[in-house]
Amino acid sequence: MALIEIRGLTKTFRGRGQGPVEALTGVDLSVDEGEIFGVIGLSGAGKSTLIRCINLLERPTSGSVVVGGRDLAGLSRKELLAFRRGMGMIFQSFNLLSSRTVRGNVAFPLEVAGAPRAEVEKKVGALLEMVGLSDKEGSYPAQLSGGQKQRVGIARALANAPKILLCDEATSALDPQNTGAILRLIERLKNQLGLTVVLITHEMKVITEICDRVAVMESGRIVETGRVIDVFAQPRHPSSRSFVEVERTSRDEYFRNSYKPRGRLVKFYYVGDVVAEPLVNALIRLYDVRVNILQANIDNINGTAFGTMLVDLSGDPGSVSQAMDFMRESKLRLEVLETSAEAGSEAGPGTTRDGADGGGDGVSSVRKQSNDNQGGPG
Amino acid sequence: MMLTANQLIMLKTSSLQSLYMVAFSTLLTTVLGVPLGVLVVVTRPGQILESKLAYRIAGFFINATRSIPFPIFIVFVIPLTRFLVGTAIGSTAVIVPLTLAAVVFMARLTETALLEVPFGLIEAAQAVGASRRQIVRHVMLPEAMPGLIMSVTITVITLISYSAMAGAVGGGGLGDFAIRYGYQRYQTDVMWVTVVMLLIVVQGVQLAGDHLVRRFSRR
Ligand SMILES: Nc1ncnc2c1ncn2[C@@H]1O[C@H](COP(=O)(O)OP(=O)(O)OP(=O)(O)O)[C@@H](O)[C@H]1O
Ligand SMILES: [Mg+2]
């Protein structure tokens, strides 16, 4: 059984004036021990409500939340307080006590748990060292940068040695550099302390950088769940696609609108080891086709390479479709974005029929893969 | 501006009476008013001890008390004063209406100060398993400290001014002295001396309060 099991979770807020708001609708989710699980969604999708149901900062309207085999609904008030000590949480706005120093903030959960003073002293020192803030222990939050504040937040969240860390938009208030640093810190601490992390965000970058799995939320529902690499490489739901492709589709649009393909405008998607293989080279050598690479990109998604390449594939129609089959056999996913008038009007990844090709020597304003058209079909 | 020896003795007695009334009612007001303010905040909708009933009752009590003008209030609570102090006359007796009126005033100021504490801090404390009592003691009150000190300062100054009306029930004090000698017997000197004294005291209280607020502000 997963460490966190959420079944049929619904949360309805009594609306303030404008009627009830259904923030969560039948959410099912399971988070395995030791993973970093990301939840992505637009503002108002219900991400915060979802994560806050995991430590009962928000009471579910219906459905169950089971953590480590315990159904939270059955906890008494006292048990809930003890349960929450086994779970840390960090926030977008840090939520540090302004009246306490860095040391005092990190000591807070330990004091609340009734730890003896000497132990508090010792643990706080170790925690501050862990997040790299030993030199700031006497500072007040107002004197810290955003990145430093979040480090204090992390140290505080981990003070009672929890097994689970909940991150509610923990990096949304930070600049890209600090975002990266905080994410790496979370990843390191996860490995070091054997944490399970649930994080929510509206940035795909955060998901691809450290998450193992991701759930995409839209209007209170989870519309897609899967390994990050899978969702990123082949998003199924329109909402996931928009997160994955904001940047990429805009580039595709550019080529679609302002570039006239000689043959077919094809997009290749490749994942993992395929990246290392000289496929384009093979393509040119084996088939009588011209390959004009318009754009190519490789992302590192939590350790796995994920690449996309936009090419204009032209030449003898038979050769072009053979070339496309070859790429498919090589475990690439293809998507035909556009077909030139001469190359036929059909489109779609499954196309094999082709019209005539205009030929020419493929000069492009972007980048050109020169080829010397040797060898016939294999 | 010269006061007679007799007047000086009266001035001294009045000052001590004022000090006595204000000091005691400040103490009682703080001890009772802050918890009442806390109660009003934590029982609010969405707060950590949400309770419509408690919130409404406390709110009504505060508003009702605040709506009665102080001189009338003194008379109004005479039965209670008799019950608590044994008499309705004198400095000690005046402490009862003074405290009651100031407690609700203080409660409202406390409420305002506590509501300034971002709810996120309370949630962060809940997330680490803090109990409601711990949240009030270790989060809400310390975080609102500058605001609370400001509230006490305002309350003390209000008490000084209210205590001037203590003469109505034989409570004495500087205000009473100024009215009886300075106003009713046309001894302008006496009035000026007391006014200046009050001014200095009020200024002093404000300065001390501001200083403490600065010391406790970390935001
Ligand atoms: N306490 C509340 N009372 C009423 N409505 C609420 C409350 N909290 C959240 N909502 C509503 O529930 C919906 C989901 O909110 P939630 O905060 O979970 O979204 P989110 O995905 O975290 O968005 P964001 O990225 O802006 O933080 C929104 O429509 C919001 O207005
Ligand atoms: Mg949110």
Q: Which two tokens stand for residue A129?
A: 């060292």
Residue A51 half-sphere exposure toward CB, CA atoms < 13 A: 29
Ligand 1 and A355: CB distance under 6 A: no
Least confident of A40-54, A342-356, B40-54, B89-103: A342-356
Predicted confidence band of residue A299 (pLDDT cuts 50, 70, 90): confident
Ligand 1 and A340: CB distance under 6 A: no
Residue in the structure block whose two tokens are 């990123």:
A232
Relative to the alpha carbon of A19, which ligand is closest? 1
Higher pLDDT, A232 or B23: B23
Chain B residues whose beta carbon lies within 8 Å of the beta carbon of residue A102: none
Give the pLDDT confidence of A90-147 residue by residue, as tens digits. 999 999 999 999 999 999 999 999 999 999 999 999 999 999 999 999 999 999 999 9
> Which pLDDT does position A270 carry in this prediction?
83
C-alpha distances in Å from residue A269, one per residue of A142, A305, A313, A336: 47, 11, 15, 11
Q: Which of residues 55-94 of A touch B (CB under 8 A)?
A: 55, 57, 80-85, 87-89, 91, 93
Query: How many other CB atoms are found less than 10 A from the CB of residue B46?
Result: 7
Q: How far apart are CA B122 and CA B168, in angstroms?
A: 46
DSSP letter assigned to residue A341:
G
Q: Where are the alpha helices (DSSP H) in chain B?
A: 5-42, 52-67, 70-76, 78-85, 91-115, 119-127, 132-135, 141-143, 145-163, 174-177, 188-216
> Which pLDDT does position A343 carry in this prediction?
62
Contact A256/A337 with Cβ under 8 angstroms?
A: yes
Taking alpha carbons only, the member of B170, B162, B169, B167 closest to residue B179 is B167
Closest ligand 1 atom, CA of A50?
Answer: 18
Ligand 1 and A48: CB distance under 6 A: yes
Q: Is the per-residue pLDDT at A210 higher than 90?
A: yes
Contact A276/A304 with Cβ under 8 angstroms?
A: no
Contact A128/A155 with Cβ under 8 angstroms?
A: yes
B128: nearest CB among A80, A109, A141:
A109
**Which strands make up the sheet holding A333-339, listed edge to edge?**
A289-301, A304-315, A264-271, A333-339
Which domain, by its residues, includes B135? 5-218
Contact A225/A194 with Cβ under 8 angstroms?
A: no
CA angle A256, A261, A266 (to 5 degrees): 70
A113 close contact with B: CB closer than 8 A: yes
Taking alpha carbons only, the member of A76, A84, A138 closest to residue A106 is A138
Q: How far apart are CA A34 and CA A344, in angstroms?
A: 51
Q: Is the per-residue pLDDT at A356 higher than 60?
A: no
> Which pLDDT does position A355 carry in this prediction?
34
Radius of gyration of chain B (CA): 20
A341 close contact with B: CB closer than 8 A: no
B125 close contact with A: CB closer than 8 A: yes
Q: How far apart are CA B196 and CA B198, in angstroms?
A: 5
Taking alpha carbons only, the member of B37, B28, B13, B10 closest to residue B182 is B10
**Which strands make up the sheet holding A196-201, listed edge to edge?**
A87-91, A164-168, A196-201, A36-41, A213-218, A221-227
Higher pLDDT, A302 or B191: B191
Percentage of chain B lying above the pLDDT 70 cut:
99
Closest ligand 1 atom, CA of A16?
Answer: 4
> Which pLDDT does position B147 carry in this prediction?
96
Strand partners, A335: A267
Q: Is the per-residue pLDDT at B33 higher than 50?
A: yes
B145 close contact with A: CB closer than 8 A: yes
Q: How far apart are CA B36 and CA B27, in angstroms?
A: 14
Mean pLDDT, all residues of chain B: 93
Chain B residues whose beta carbon lies within 8 Å of the beta carbon of residue A84: 126-129
- pTM (2 decimals)? 0.84
**Long-range CB contacts (< 8 A, 24+ apart) of B24-27?**
B24/B95, B24/B99, B25/B95, B25/B98, B25/B99, B25/B102, B25/B159, B25/B163, B26/B102, B26/B152, B26/B155, B26/B156, B26/B159
Q: Which domains does chain A carry?
A: 4-238 (3.40.50.300), 240-374 (3.30.70.260)
B129: nearest CB among A84, A97, A99:
A84
Taking alpha carbons only, the member of A185, A176, A200 closest to residue A91 is A200
Look at chain B and report how many structural domains it folds into: 1
The phi, psi pair for A207, rounded to 5°, reads: -65, -50
Detail the DSSP E strand segments found in chain A: 4-13, 21-31, 36-41, 62-67, 70-71, 87-91, 164-168, 196-201, 213-218, 221-227, 264-271, 289-301, 304-315, 333-339
Ligand 1 and A202: CB distance under 6 A: yes
Give the pLDDT confidence of A225-283 residue by residue, as tens digits. 999 988 888 888 988 888 887 656 666 777 777 788 888 888 888 888 777 778 888 88
Q: How far apart are CA A307 and CA A293, in angstroms?
A: 13
Give the pLDDT confidence of A134-183 residue by residue, as tens digits. 999 999 999 999 999 999 999 999 999 999 999 999 999 999 999 999 99
**Distance between A197 CA and the closest CA of chain B, angstroms:** 15
Residue in the structure block whose two tokens are 């007040």:
A140
Q: Is the per-residue pLDDT at A368 higher than 70?
A: no
Highest mean pLDDT of the ranges A174-183, A238-247, A347-356, A364-373: A174-183
Predicted confidence band of residue A378 (pLDDT cuts 50, 70, 90): very low
CA angle A238, A241, A247 (to 5 degrees): 135
Q: How far apart are CA A267 and CA A57, in angstroms?
A: 45
Percentage of chain A lying above the pLDDT 70 cut:
88
Higher pLDDT, B186 or A102: A102
Q: How far apart are CA A52 and CA A217, in angstroms?
A: 15
**Interface test with chain B among A99, A101, A123, by most B beta carbons within 10 Å:** A99
Task: Work out the burial of residue A205: count CB atoms within 10 Å of its CB; fewer than 13 is exposed, 13-18 middle, 19 or more buried.
Answer: middle
> Which pLDDT does position A372 carry in this prediction?
35
Q: Quick one: average pLDDT of A45-64? A: 96
Predicted confidence band of residue A317 (pLDDT cuts 50, 70, 90): confident
> Which pLDDT does position B190 carry in this prediction?
85
Q: How much is the ipTM here? A: 0.90
Q: How far apart are CA B157 and CA B163, in angstroms?
A: 10
> The domain that contains B65 carries what CATH number?
1.10.3720.10
Task: Report the C-alpha dihedral over residues A11, A12, A14, A20, rounded to 10 degrees.
Answer: 160
Strands A213-218 and A62-67: unpaired
> Which pLDDT does position B180 carry in this prediction?
84
A109 close contact with B: CB closer than 8 A: yes
Ligand 1 and A141: CB distance under 6 A: no
Q: Quick one: average pLDDT of B55-68? A: 95
